[in-house]
Amino acid sequence: MDRRALYNKRNKLLRYKDILDLYLQVKHEDVPVTRVWRKYIYPKYHISRSTLYTILSTPVIAELRAVEDALGLFGSERVTRRESQLNK
């Protein structure tokens, strides 16, 4: 994979990470995924519900580490920093 494709994939995964962060902030046990999508995710990101399900099933952190390692960007420090922000 060339560098351009890796950067595109990295940017897509970072966008997925932002969507997952928002999803995890507003998702509660008694709130359906469709309501979270309709009320919070779609107005901001304009993605379809099936795209949201794709994002939810994607191992974003692992793929992001692999792409950043392939690009040689900051090792895994950037991903670890984003993970620690999510866990707060």
53's CB contacts (< 8 A; 6+ apart) are: 33
CA of 14: how far to CAs of 1, 34, 62, in Å?
Answer: 18, 22, 12
Per residue in 56-88, pLDDT tens? 999 999 999 999 888 886 544 555 555 655 555
Distance CA 35, CA 39 (A): 6
Q: What are the boundaries of each domain within the chain?
A: 3-86
Per residue in 9-36, pLDDT tens? 999 999 999 999 999 999 999 999 999 9
52's CB contacts (< 8 A; 6+ apart) are: 19, 23, 33, 37, 41
